Structure 1
Amino acid sequence: MSAESSVDDLAATLYGAVGLVTRRLRHSPAAGELSLPERSALALLDRQGPATTAALARSEQITPQAVSTTIAGLERRGFVERTPDPDDGRQMIVSLTEAGRQVLQDKRDARIRQLTESLTAGFTPAELATLQTAAPLLERLGQSL
C-alpha cells in the first residue's frame, strides 16, 4: 500500500466520520430550535460581525432574497436588528442582538453537553486521551480547508 493511498483512505474515513458527527448533532432536537439557514446566519454574524444582507448572501452563497427571508424571521424573534448603512442609505446593516448571541450560545452548549455525554458513556480513558490528542489536529485541518 502506498503512502498516497493511505492518506486517501484517511481522508475518506475522516470525511465520513466528521460528516456523521455533524449530521447527528444537527438533527438531534434542541430547545429553541433554529433552522439551518438561521443558525448559519447567526453564526456568521457572530464570527464576522455586522453585515449587509448582500454580504451575508455572498458569504452563504445563496440569493439575497433567501437571506432577507431568513433575516426577517430572525428579526421578528429579536435575534438580529437592522440599522441603516451610514455609507449607503439603500442598504441595511444586520447585527446580532444579545438575544441572538444567547440563543446561539445555548445551541452550542446543548451540542457540547450532547458530545460530553456520548464521550463519557462510550469511550475508555485511553480512547479519550487519543481524541484529546487528535482534536487540535482536526481543528487545524478545518482551518486549512
Structure 2
Amino acid sequence: MNRDEPSDEMLAWLYTQQGVDAVRVAMSGRVEASAGCSLLEHEALYRIDMGGRLPMSELSELLAVSPSGVTRLVERLVRRGWVERSQPPDNRRVVYAALTDEGRHVLHDTTAPTYRAAVAEEFAGPLNDRDVADLKRIGRKLLEAHGKWDAQRFAT
C-alpha cells in the first residue's frame, strides 16, 4: 500500500466519525427548532431520567463532557427549571442531578419525541435493516472492547 493511501481501517474510522458528526448536526438542528433546547441538553435530561438521579461525575462520563462542561450544562438546566442539584449531608463532595417534574414533562412530551423522529429520519432513514443490525453489533463490540458496555444502560 502506498503511504499516501488510507487503509481500510482508516477510511472506516473517518467515514464513521464524519457520518456521526453529520447526523448529530442534522439532529441538533431539529431538536433545537422543535424542542427549544440543544441536543446535548436533551441527552443530559435523558441520561438523568434513566438514572433517576446521577452524580455529576457519572453524567460527565456518560455525555463525554468535561466535569466543568457538565457543571455549566446542568446550571443551564437548573435555570430553566428542568433539573435540580443536591448533595448528601454526609458527603459534600458529591453533587447529584435529578429531573424536576417540569424537566420530566419537557423530556417525555417534547424533546424525546423530537429526538426519536430525528433518529428515525436522520440516522436510520438512509439505512436498511441489515445496516442497522450491523451498526448495533459493531457499536456494542466497540463499547465492550473499551469497557463502556453497561447492560443496565443499553438495550441488548
Q: Shorter-chain TM-score category? A: 0.5 to 0.7
TM-score by length of 1: 0.64
Deviation at 1:42?
Answer: 1.9
Distance 1:7 1:62 in 2: 28
The code of the aligned residue for 1:16 comes to: Q
For residues 91-112 of structure 1, the C-alpha deviation after alignment (integer angstroms, 9 at most, x for no partner) is: 4421123432342343232133
Aligned pair count reads 134
* 1:106-121 superposed matches below 5 A: 106-114=110-118, 116=120
Counterpart of 2:132?
Answer: 135
Asked whether the 8 Å contact 1:30–1:110 carries over to 2, the reply is no
Counterpart of 1:20?
Answer: 22
Q: With CA pairs under 8 Å and 6+ residues apart, which has the higher RCO, 1 or 2?
A: 2
Q: Secondary structure at the match of 1:85?
A: coil
Deviation at 1:34?
Answer: 1.6
Larger-gyration structure (1/2):
1
Distance 2:106 2:42 in 1: 9
Deviation at 1:140?
Answer: 2.5
* 1:1-145 superposed matches below 5 A: 5-28=7-30, 29-57=32-60, 59=62, 60-64=64-68, 66-89=69-92, 91-105=94-108, 106-114=110-118, 116=120, 131-143=128-140, 144-145=142-143
For residues 63-89 of structure 1, the C-alpha deviation after alignment (integer angstroms, 9 at most, x for no partner) is: 43x433322321232211223315414
- Label 1:136 to 1:87 Cα distance change in 2 as closer, same or farther (>3 A): farther
Deviation at 1:114?
Answer: 4.3
| Higher share in helix | 1
- Label 1:63 to 1:89 Cα distance change in 2 as closer, same or farther (>3 A): closer
Asked whether the 8 Å contact 1:81–1:95 carries over to 2, the reply is yes
Give 5+ residue unaligned stretches, structure 2: 2-6, 144-156
- Label 1:100 to 1:12 Cα distance change in 2 as closer, same or farther (>3 A): same
**What CA RMSD, in Å, does the superposition of the two structures yield over aligned residues?**
3.5
Between 5-14 and 27-36, the greater mean CA deviation after superposition: 5-14
Distance 1:9 1:138 in 2: 16
Distance 1:99 1:47 in 2: 16
Asked whether the 8 Å contact 1:38–1:74 carries over to 2, the reply is yes
- Label 1:139 to 1:48 Cα distance change in 2 as closer, same or farther (>3 A): farther
